[in-house]
Amino acid sequence: MNFTVEKMKGEHIPRVAELERQCFSQPWSEKGLAEELDNENSHFLVAVADGLAGYIGVQEICGEAYITNVAVFEDYRKRGIGRALLEAACKGAEGRGCEFITLEVRESNLSAIALYESEGFEVAGVRKNFYSDPTENGIIYTKNFER
């Protein structure tokens, strides 16, 4: 499948918000996503095939990078899009001088966990009852960059 990874733009916001609603119990709003476009510490990327296929959000502060969300539309899953978004996010954060990149994932999201581990992320901790709808632990994964 041919797709490109590019910086999120205003034109992508409605579909990203739709993807958020499909994937998450507490989705970002269009307004919240749009505000990230003007935030110099935010780096949101989209994967575009024959339309928006997925996205990843990263916020950086003091040399640390935090992945806010990774999501891929169901029709585009298992095609390397999530991996490409994750690799681009990591490369960008490392290139901007971040020491590490981290995220939380529902403990039941085994496909995401397998992806993160295959990309060199390691368990850094557990946030008890971090997620709601349903209540579930969040596993913290971190990838350190070589310095």
pTM: 0.94
Q: Is 116 considered catalytic here?
A: yes
3-state secondary structure of 10: helix
Backbone angles phi, psi at 134, to 5 degrees: -95, 165
Q: Please give the structure tokens belonging to residue 105.
A: 């994932």
CA 59, chain centre distance (Å): 10
**19-64: per-residue pLDDT in tens?**
999 999 889 999 999 999 999 999 999 999 999 999 999 999 999 9
Which residue in the list 55, 66, 116, 141 is annotated as catalytic?
116
Distance CA 141, CA 65 (A): 12
Note the pLDDT of residue 84. 98
Summarize the confidence of residues 129-143 as an average pLDDT. 95
DSSP class of residue 114 equals H
Instruction: Report how far Cα 79 is from the mean position of its chain's Cα atoms.
Output: 16
Cβ pair 87, 36 in contact under 8 A: no
pLDDT above 90: percentage of residues in the chain:
95
Per-residue confidence (pLDDT) for residue 6, from 0 to 100: 98
What whole-number distance in Å separates Cα of residue 8 and Cα of residue 33? 10
Q: What is the pLDDT of residue 147?
A: 67
Question: Residue 80 burial by CB count (10 A; 0-12/13-18/19+): exposed, middle or buried?
Answer: middle
Q: Given this model, what pLDDT does residue 112 score?
A: 95
Mean pLDDT across 94-112 = 97
The structural domains of the chain, ordered by start, are 4-144 (3.40.630.30)
pLDDT bucket at 133, cuts 50 / 70 / 90: confident
Q: Among residues 20, 60, 94, 104, which one is catalytic? A: 104
Catalytic residue status for 104: yes
